[in-house]
Structure 1
Amino acid sequence: MRIMNEIFWPHDYLPGTTENFASNEVIVAGLSAADVWPFLANAPLWPTYYANSADVRFYDGKGPMLEKGVRFYFSTFGFPVQALVTEYVAPVAGQPGRVAWHGWAGENDTRLDVHHAWLIEDLSGGRVRILTQETQKGKPAEDMARVRPNPMINGHQEWLDGLVDAVRRSKQ
């Protein structure tokens, strides 16, 4: 039996200890982590396959590729998100790709802090697993956690589906 990899969490953002948590995953045949990675790591591509992201831009002359320590901005779910990449490991044979960022928006009662992480790993049988999880802190996170259907779960599923569709189209 093979154990799948998991997200690495900062202590303050451990799922179950924050106001909101979303987890989405797909396992797809016929794609690899190497196929998927460029579409996730190149943040300005996000709006081309995920309608809930826009205005991606980088600071300090960095970009368009994410990398550890890079600050960037994008808007999503109606929030203007400032973000700092806290983890970036491209996939290599036998090792999953990992990217995560701390994102924040608002101040005081409108402050939202998130840790958004992705794990892309090859599985046996020519399959790839794409896992995205996000923990959120703050009043906006409390509010979103009560909404049904859950906007984070649905939004992140759209991101996953769009990502897979974009990769498949690029291979045709």
Structure 2
Amino acid sequence: MSDILWPEGFIPGFTDNFASNEIIVSGLSAAEIWPLLAIPARWPDYYPNAADVEIHGGKGPELDLGDSFFFRTFGFPVPARVVECVPPVPGQPARIAWHGWSGEPGAADRLDVHHAWLVEDLAAGRVRILTQETQNGAPAQALAATVPNPMINGHQDWLNGLVAAARSAQG
């Protein structure tokens, strides 16, 4: 199976917090998952931890490489920029990732994240959805020390909602 591509400074094991969630389900494809993930205006419909989503510069509705956008999640206002965007094609996993931040550079409350998704068709009509996020900064250290880890639980809710929305769209 494929894995996430990490930029320098955000490699798991060398960051302040790391969350990894994955789900494999049958009866769905990467092509059915992609629009629910790549069109952020849809996130609040199936993931209650995403709000106030907007893509800047008149872009959208689907995210593309280099797009800047904003959303609120986990109590943080998060401006973000898409740093990887590969829609699904047969034989290749779909990938989308963004660098997001909260707070001013150098501030004690600064949080920097790399949130990556991989959506991969598997044999026998299954799809694998992997989401991983690394974080740096004091807020990330606090999240990592929280039990249970809110990132793990929140991202699992995102995955479950994404699958439910895709199944609902099938009719």
TM-score using structure 2 length: 0.98
CA distance in 1, matches of 2:147, 2:17: 13
CA apart distance, 1:59: 1.1
* Matched residue, 2:11: 14
CA distance in 1, matches of 2:82, 2:4: 15
CA apart distance, 1:11: 1.4
* Matched residue, 2:44: 47
DSSP 3-state at the match of 2:59: coil
DSSP 3-state at the match of 2:9: helix
Is residue 2:77 matched to residue 1:80?
A: yes
Which one of 10, 17, 34 corresponds to residue 31 of structure 2? Answer: 34
CA distance in 2, matches of 1:115, 1:139: 15
Is residue 2:6 matched to residue 1:23?
A: no
Which aligned pairs between 1:136-147 and structure 2 lie closer than 5 A?
Answer: 136-147=135-146
**4+ runs deviating over 3 angstroms:** none
CA distance in 2, matches of 1:106, 1:143: 15
CA distance in 1, matches of 2:138, 2:96: 26
DSSP 3-state at the match of 2:108: helix
TM-score using structure 1 length: 0.97
CA apart distance, 1:106: 1.1
| Residue identity (%) | 63
CA apart distance, 1:140: 0.1
CA apart distance, 1:150: 0.5
Q: How many pairs were matched up?
A: 169
CA distance in 1, matches of 2:71, 2:118: 20
CA distance in 1, matches of 2:86, 2:55: 19
CA distance in 2, matches of 1:85, 1:145: 24
* Matched residue, 1:128: 127
DSSP 3-state at the match of 2:92: coil
Query: Any gaps of 5 or more consecutive residues in structure 1?
Result: none
Query: In structure 1, what residue type is equivalent to 2:89?
Result: V
Deviations 1:61-99 (A, max 9, x none): 112211000000000000000000000000100000000
CA distance in 1, matches of 2:11, 2:34: 25
* Matched residue, 2:97: 100
Query: Any gaps of 5 or more consecutive residues in structure 2?
Result: none
RMSD value over aligned CA atoms? 0.5
Deviations 1:18-53 (A, max 9, x none): 000000000000000011111001110000000000
Which one of 65, 85, 95 corresponds to residue 62 of structure 2? Answer: 65
